[in-house]
Chains A and B, each alone.
Chain A
């Protein structure tokens, strides 16, 4: 692979060093080289949000990001959302409230919602809908997803009040 590039980045807090073909997307490197298959292949054209991951805290579509352009970046996938064995409140709430049905869109939705809550710990329903407007779901009709995010907001605030969770910084 004479045209390969050396890629150093952080994925879910772990430093990664790899040789990548420039024609590989971040999605392909995550799933095929790093075996992080939680991030899903959807339309692969930027039309569904299933492949969303966070790059430096911002939701982006990994199907349209060249891996070689992610050098030095910090990538968070759905595998990096839970704290050890303890699910993130967004994951709990999505499961409890039917926000995740077939589940295919859930990884993209959860990381996108996490980016919103990191930026805005107490979002309005409109802000939640706007933040998730790039994630398609064909099962839920969206209401359960929005309610799950609102429920996670409550859980996170309870944890913050009890000193179990650091306060989000804007």
Chain B
């Protein structure tokens, strides 16, 4: 039976109280919100915090409200189910709704939070295993070992970014707010991640992610396409997130991001730039998809064969852009996601 190791537990009732606790000894503490990432990792011995700071009692983290200038603030403690049940989000920021709706399973979405999904640990075949399994291979660079078994000559850990909401929020140009005992700062989602499987967040250990801020997205069209083996449970092994602003069918602004093809969500600036000033013709879509394909660097660290995963990036970006163009993609959606999105 997998038991949790013992730990000291704090249940702060406010952000102020939480960051005061975190400030005491951040290197020995971990934050737990929904628990769906932290607790399995602790059961497998990947994480061994002395102290857990539980966020469930902090009501101010679970609010969604309008922000200044047509922006929208989503509290980091908002569950993914709350996002999926939000009709305004479904209508106006469909890509984020599609991303949230494809995370894991209904049970896990009832527990998991958007803040937790953004901070989701990077994943790897050689890391997400029991203590005994990892011991048998001499551990890996990410935890207790020195070799990255994905590419043994690699100087850095190549674990894969497996969050669904981060690539979408990156495409949306969202920001996160990080609060510590010494103050708060807003960070663009693009600056929240490092392309390093171990040090994948730029957040300091004493900082608490309190909210996500969406810019004014009036007039934007968004879409998220995810590749996974099963119609539920699975983390992405490839994903395309797009946000477009069209003016009379011509692309005025474009942001194309990829998930699960690096240790961080990737923005394809070239794919985005190629679309500006273009109509969404088959040729323009193919050119953008090819540019996105070029930057995708899937490694042999998760489900499916990496060359096929890279090829699928083209297909995912194409599908997302065709959906944004107004093509009826429901049958393709259903065949890939096995969900009506």
Contact = CB atoms under 8 A, between A and B. Distances in A.
A66 interface: yes
Contacts of A3: 6, 8-9
Interface residues of A, number: 31
Interface in B309-340: 339-340
Interface string B95-115: 000000000111110110000
Nearest to A43: B2
A24 B105 CA distance: 23
A130 B106 contact: yes
A46 B36 CA distance: 7
Interface stretch (A55-63, A95-103, A143-151, A157-165): A55-63
A91 interface: no
Nearest to A52: B107
Contacts of B232: 133-134
B91 interface: no
Contact of A69 (B5, B36, B54): B54
A69 to B, nearest CB: 5
B56 interface: yes
Interface string B1-16: 1111111110100000
The interface residues of chain B, by DSSP majority, are classed as loop
A81 interface: no
A68 B35 CA distance: 12
Contacts of A61: 36, 107-108, 111
A61 B54 CA distance: 17
Contact of B108 (A23, A46, A68, A131): A46
A23 B340 CA distance: 38
Given A60-B111, A66-B54, A44 B2 contact: yes
Contacts of B3: 23, 28
A45 B229 CA distance: 19
B52 interface: yes
Interface string A8-27: 00000000000001111100
Interface string B37-50: 00110011000000
A131 to B, nearest CB: 6
Nearest to B32: A66
Contact of A25 (B4, B36, B111): B4
Contact of A66 (B6, B35, B43, B105): B35
Given A22-B52, A23-B3, A133-B231, A5 B9 contact: yes
Contacts of A41: 1
A66 B11 CA distance: 12
A44 B39 CA distance: 10
Interface string B211-251: 00000000000000000000111000000000000000000
Given A52-B107, A133-B233, 18 more contacts: A3-B6, A22-B8, A23-B7, A24-B4, A41-B1, A44-B2, A46-B39, A46-B40, A46-B104, A47-B233, A60-B110, A61-B108, A61-B111, A64-B39, A112-B106, A112-B107, A126-B340, A130-B106
11 contacts: A21-B6, A23-B4, A25-B39, A59-B106, A60-B110, A61-B108, A64-B108, A66-B39, A68-B54, A134-B232, A134-B233
Cβ-closest 6 pairs across A and B? A134-B105, A22-B9, A133-B232, A134-B107, A23-B4, A44-B2
